Structure formats: C-alpha cells, structure tokens
Amino acid sequence: MQNDTVIISSIDNLELATKIAHNLDVQLMKADLRIFSDGESKIRMDSVSNKKCIIVHSTYPVPDQRLMQLFMMIYKCNKDRAKHICALIPYMAYTRQDKAFIDGEVISVDLIGNILESIGTNQLVTIDIHNQKVLSNFSFRTSNISAIPILACYVSDHLKLHSPLIVSPDKGGINRAAELAKLLNTDMISLVKIRDRYTGEIQTKFEGSKSIRDRDTIIVDDMISTGNSIINAAKVLKELGVQNIFVLCTHALLPENAIEKLRDAGIKDIIATNSIPNVFTRVDLAAMLSQYLLEQIKSSQ
C-alpha cells in the first residue's frame, strides 16, 4: 500500500474513485459534500497533510457548481500542505469555450486553468478532452488520456455488426474515428458539419462518393450533449441507406429530452464510459486510470 497517497472524491464519482483506490491499494477519502437550498456547496475533509492527493471529480452535471466543489477540495489539500495535488477530472467542462468565436467572448477554459494554478494544483489528468490544445495554456503538468482503446474492446466483445463502418460526425473528430477504425480493423468516413456561430444551428452533409448502404454504422464522438449533431448525422446516414446506427462516446451528458430525441432519430444504442455515470454507462474507466496512476506513482519514487 502507498501510505502517502490518498484518493479523494465526493459522492458523484465515488464508485469510480473506490475502484481506483482498490486497484492501487491506497486510502480512499470521501469528501463530505453538502448542498444548501440556495445552491451553495459546502465541503468538509479530514487532513491530508504531507499526502499525495488524487481528487477524482467530473464537472457535470451543473458544471459551475461541480467546478466550485473541485476548487474547494484542491484548496483544502493545499491549505493542509499536501505533498502533491492531482486533479483527475474524467469529464472537464468548458473546454468547448477555448477561443473567442465572437468579439468580446471570454475564453472560459483559460480562466479555469488560472484558478486551478492559483489554488495549488500540481497536475491535471482528464479523458478525451474536447480540444487537447487548451492544455498547452496551463502552467502545470497535464495529461489527456484516450478512452478509444477500451471503447473499441467493448465493441469487439459485445456488438455483432454487419460490415461495420466508423463515422465521424465532423472533420474535427477524424483522428478519433480513424483510431477506432484501425483498432476494429474496418474503414471510416467523415461527415461535414457547419454550425452557425450566432444561432447554434447545425447543418450536416456527406461529401464522399462511396456507397455505405446496408452497413452497420458507429458514430463516434468525444461527448454527446444536446444530441443535435448526432441526430443530424443519423439523418444523413439513413438517407444513404445504412442498416443500424450505434453511438459511441466517452462523455454522455444528455440533458433534458436529449435521450428521447436520439431514440426518435433511430439510434439503436448509445454506449458511453462512466466519466459521467448514467444509464448508458457500459465502459469502466477504472482499470485504465489505475494503470496510468500506478505508472505515475512508480515514476515519482
């Protein structure tokens, strides 16, 4: 057991944190979280003086609230003079706000990086961040881990597909789709997505010439939020005559009526990791994250 290392989590990611602590044979500390009627959060933790702290905490749902809770836990570790503070954020919010699309917009993810640094964060680990380039603006150590290999294993082990085809819903996801296609030994296509920066309206089309009729397709993306991009992609694929449409993602946010809309669009199934626990969680991140953290612990000894 690593006596100087502790895994810390509040209730929402406690299951994942518990598995990681068990795999690493280290102490698990549950942060006592209370949310008041006005929405304010209160965190209480035992002392972590002279400990290496790994805080497991996704920033969804209610990103602003979840970020504040994360800041509180990091702040407490820093005040206790912890040896090292690692924020393990399976899903990191605000990474789509990585540039000023319209004059005057705040680049929110840079602000989050500045706050994390100012309260004592030494390291950040996240999974399939929307834009990995944003991490280069952070002044402390950062790592972005791909969940595509374990998602590919799930597909191989559980889905019986006819002539499978991997689909990226836009040009930005081509590398992700290509990695999945290579692991599954199949081919891929990319759709073209155009988003109106003011209204948010999305148009999707296929500019290729190859026939994909009667094939089973897997749309792969880093996250699904409202589902509009996936719904538009599914419409295009059905017009091209595909057989079944599956959706594979790392982070399934799915607010409000997104699930109902996706089902109405003809999506056969949605498969996601437990970065955000919900009904579509099929792929467990614990083993992958434990292995990564174990290598980090060994290298620091």
Q: Which amino acid type is present at position 57?
A: H
Q: Return the minimum-mean-pLDDT range out of 1-15, 18-32, 209-223, 284-298.
A: 1-15
How does the average pLDDT of the chain come out, rounded? 94
d(CA 116, CA 114): 6
Q: List, for residues 5-49, the tens digit of each pLDDT value.
A: 999 998 889 999 999 999 999 999 999 999 999 999 999 999 999
pLDDT score of 301 = 66
Q: Do 161 and 241 fall within a single domain?
A: yes
- Average pLDDT of the residues in 71-100: 95
Task: Please tell me the predicted confidence (pLDDT) of residue 258.
Answer: 94
Same domain membership, residue 119 and residue 157: no
Q: Indicate which CATH number applies to the domain containing 218.
A: 3.40.50.2020
Please tell me whether residues 135 and 39 are part of one structural domain. Answer: yes
Q: Is residue 217 located within the same domain as residue 102? A: no
User: Where residue 196 falls among pLDDT bands split at 50, 70, 90?
Assistant: confident
In a shared domain, residues 192 and 202: yes
pTM: 0.93
Directed axis angle between helix 148-158 and helix 174-183, to 10°? 50
Same domain as 276, residue 204: yes
Same domain, 91 and 158: no
pLDDT score of 1? 58
Domain shared by 66 and 166, yes or no: no
Supply the range of the domain harboring residue 197: 148-283
Question: What is the DSSP track for the chain?
Answer: --TTEEEEE-GGGHHHHHHHHHHHT-EEEE-EEEE-TTS-EEEE----TT-EEEEE----SSHHHHHHHHHHHHHHHHHTT-SEEEEEESS-TTTT--S-SSTT---HHHHHHHHHHHTT--EEEEES-S-GGGGGG-SSEEEEE--HHHHHHHHHHH---SS-EEEESSGGGHHHHHHHHHHTT-EEEE-EEEE-TTT--EEEE----S--TT--EEEEEEEESSSHHHHHHHHHHHHTT-S-EEEEEEEE---TTHHHHHHHTT--EEEEETTS-STTEEE--HHHHHHHHHHHHHHT-
Percent of the chain scoring above 90 in pLDDT: 85
Q: Check whether residue 102 and residue 155 sit in a common domain.
A: no
Average pLDDT of span 190-212: 85
Q: Taking Cα atoms as reference points, which of 257, 54, 291, 299 lies closest to residue 149?
A: 291
Using pLDDT thresholds of 50, 70 and 90, give the confidence band for residue 264.
very high
- The answer, yes or no, to whether residue 198 has pLDDT greater than 70, is yes
| Average pLDDT estimate for 107-122 | 96
> Do 26 and 142 reside in the same domain of the chain?
yes
Q: How far apart are CA 259 and CA 264, in angstroms?
A: 9
Burial of 69 (0-12, 13-18, 19+ CB in 10 A): buried
State how many domains the chain has.
2
- The amino acid present at 12, given as its one-letter code, is D
pLDDT the model gives residue 201: 77
Rounded CA-CA distance 261/254 in Å is 10
Look at residue 94 in the predicted model and tell me its pLDDT.
95
- Residues 122, 220: one domain? no
Do both 108 and 199 map to the same domain?
Answer: no
Mean of pLDDT values over 39-67: 97
